[in-house]
Amino acid sequence: MNIQRDERAHARMREKRARCTPRPQLEDYSRKYELYFRMKRDNGVLEVQMHSDGGPAIYDLKLHNDWAQLWYDIGNDPENEVLIFSGTGDKWLDYTERSQYEESLADLPADSFYDHQFADSMKLLESLIFNVDIPTISCINGPGFHTEFALLCDITLCAEHAVLFDPHFEIGLVPGDGQGLVFQELMGLKRAAYYMYTADKIDARTALDMGLVNEVMPVDALLPRAHEIAAKIMKQPRATRRLTSAVIRRPWKRLLVQDLGYHMAHEMMGIRLDATV
């Protein structure tokens, strides 16, 4: 009798949900973001790889904007149960001439500066931590900047040849858009201060010793290992997986609420003030 009552209750809930606003579908948002992100899903495990023209990802304004929107769609798709996030080839995220904005950030009108720099930069981290409510595994597949997104994932795997660094201060910017903040949390204040001022490279083994990453391995082993961990996670009930991810992410939520806006505001203020000198 209880089984029949439960089945009727589930049927009524399915009917009600069928009348709700449709949730994002993988076939739709995989096309929406295909210029910079390749996606495939198997048994609830969503694999997302950054890329540019099929090779290592190159940072530019569109990638910067798409990244934040991507987290919303992934988090709002109930078919996603575990996220694996990686770069392509042997680099995490490259910076080239293609990365340069057509107009200097310091010269942008106030509204454009807010929309394309301050707001986007905030949402890159916030939407990952607050909107992706499933276990997350990242694969740092090589050197590159903006590795804070990989470090914010629940589990971080790292290629042997990868290096981590925060280049902001070295190029005249306040380290305020996430990398420095994540360094402070994971490696401690004194170490983070050193690497924020010097922009020195942190090799993979040192990153492991510091507790920045969980495992170091050859680049070709990253995705197979990530899927192995994801399969282990998927053995547990859905509610257990999601509630565990909430517990793991709680300290990051607290940190972003307390400090991300402060860090970001100082970086943006530095850009504006330096332009007037």
Catalytic center residues? 148
Residue with tokens 């890329």: 51
Q: Do the beta carbons of residue 68 and residue 127 sit within 8 Å? A: yes
Tokens standing for residue 114: 């807010």
3-state secondary structure at position 81: coil
Judge residue 23's burial from the number of C-beta atoms within 10 Å of its C-beta, 0-12 exposed, 13-18 middle, 19 or more buried: exposed
Residue 180 main-chain phi, psi, to 5 deg:
-65, -40
Ranges of H-type helices in 33-174: 61-75, 110-113, 120-131, 148-152
Q: How far apart are CA 162 and CA 72, in angstroms?
A: 28
